[in-house]
């Protein structure tokens, strides 16, 4: 039995949108033509896919099973079509970022826009777990973040190694310590990012190694807010070394943490089953150039 792609696309749209009218608009069809297409699909299959009443339309059991079977293949076909068009035209990809304060990313973006001025790039500012979900859900071509829990659906290419630094007020007693330990931090008033953020995950693992129970004094949504609280002397926080140059460190100091060393791997996250478009690949290449350039400058 052969299926008509347009009918299957219409069926999925009818399942996901609030009405047949909305689904018809999505496919640029009149509602009568759309309804006829759904009836033809039901006739071809020999089953009713929707239960229709005067007030609403709901999926039958057969409709639910068909949706589960065809939604992913149709998405794959859409991705294949998009990829072929991108390969033919060099059109843009999409990128996601775990933080807006990544200097190497903005450097790569500037170089990319200079070389591809007509290519549109969409940037999303996300916490690491949200970024990973965007990649998995194919909302973006790739993300820049950490992958602490490898998954078969994802591929990871390391850009650099980074470490967490303790940030404290310039007059804080920590300034006199030659070595700051996790036990030292567990005894401090801590200002931390929300649970499950990349920085928080690394912080929690390090603090757990101290064996001392702790609770953050403040849990904030951004590093800017964390530093504002540190600046008025209400506690200490941890910030990735790579971000220190992007933040206002006036009145603050930063020091490394002793073992276990809070290092993390920052890299490009993609779907393992989805090759990057030429434009997205070009952007990734520029990211590696930018990180190598930054590493050389840091060694000087």
Q: What is the CATH number of the domain that holds 74?
A: 1.10.10.10
Q: How many domains does the chain have?
A: 3
Range of the domain at 251: 161-263
Instruction: Say whether both 106 and 199 belong to one domain.
Output: no
User: Are both 294 and 200 inside the same structural domain?
Assistant: no
Q: Are both 123 and 216 inside the same structural domain?
A: no
Among 63, 89, 115, which residue terminates a domain? 89
How far, in Å, CA of 193 to CA of 155, rounded? Answer: 26
The pLDDT tens digits for 158-198 are: 999 888 999 999 999 999 998 899 989 999 999 999 887 87
Burial of 230-264, coded b for 16+ CB within 10 Å and e otherwise, reads bbeeebbbbbbbbbeebbebeebbbbebbeeebeb
- Per-residue pLDDT tens digits for 288-299: 998 886 555 544
Among 89, 108, 140, the domain-final residue is 89
Q: Are 154 and 275 members of one domain?
A: yes
- pTM equals 0.61
Domain harbouring 290, CATH code: 3.40.190.10
Joined tokens for residue 33:
């033509």
Do 150 and 272 lie in one domain? The reply is yes
Pair 24, 99 in one domain: no
CATH of the domain at 203: 3.40.190.290
**pLDDT single digits (tens) 89-107:** 555 555 655 544 577 888 8
Please tell me the number of Cα atoms within 13 Å of 292 on its side-chain side: 6
Do 134 and 273 share a domain, yes or no? yes
H helix runs in the chain, sequence order? 5-16, 20-26, 31-45, 61-89, 103-115, 128-136, 182-186, 198-208, 223-231, 278-299
């Amino acid at each position: 039995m052969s299926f008509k792609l347009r009918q299957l696309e219409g069926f999925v749209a009818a399942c996901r949108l609030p009405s047949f009218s909305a689904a018809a608009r999505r496919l640029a069809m009149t509602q009568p033509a759309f309804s006829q297409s759904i009836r033809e699909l039901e006739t071809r299959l020999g089953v009713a896919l929707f239960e229709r009443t005067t007030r609403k339309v709901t999926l039958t059991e057969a409709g639910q099973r068909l949706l589960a079977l065809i939604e992913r293949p149709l998405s794959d076909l859409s991705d294949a079509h998009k990829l072929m068009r991108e390969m033919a035209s060099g059109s843009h990809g999409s990128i996601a970022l775990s933080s807006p304060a990544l200097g190497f990313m903005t450097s790569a973006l500037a170089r990319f826009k200079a070389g591809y001025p007509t290519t549109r790039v969409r940037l999303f500012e996300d916490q690491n777990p949200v970024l990973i979900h965007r990649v998995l859900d194919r909302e973006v071509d790739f993300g820049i973040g950490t992958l602490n829990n490898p998954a078969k659906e994802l591929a990871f290419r390391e850009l650099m190694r980074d470490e967490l630094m303790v940030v404290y007020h310039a007059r804080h007693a920590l300034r006199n310590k030659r070595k700051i330990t996790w036990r030292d931090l567990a005894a401090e008033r801590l200002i931390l990012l929300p649970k499950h953020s990349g920085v928080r995950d690394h912080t929690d693992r390090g603090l757990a190694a101290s064996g001392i129970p702790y609770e953050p004094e403040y849990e904030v949504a951004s590093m800017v807010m964390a530093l504002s609280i540190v600046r008025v002397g209400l506690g200490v926080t941890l910030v990735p070394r790579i971000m220190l140059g992007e933040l206002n460190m006036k009145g603050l100091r930063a020091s490394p943490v002793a073992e276990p060393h809070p290092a993390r791997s920052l890299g490009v996250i993609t779907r393992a089953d989805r090759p990057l478009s030429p434009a997205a690949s070009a952007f990734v290449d520029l990211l590696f150039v930018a990180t190598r350039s930054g590493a050389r400058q840091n060694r000087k």
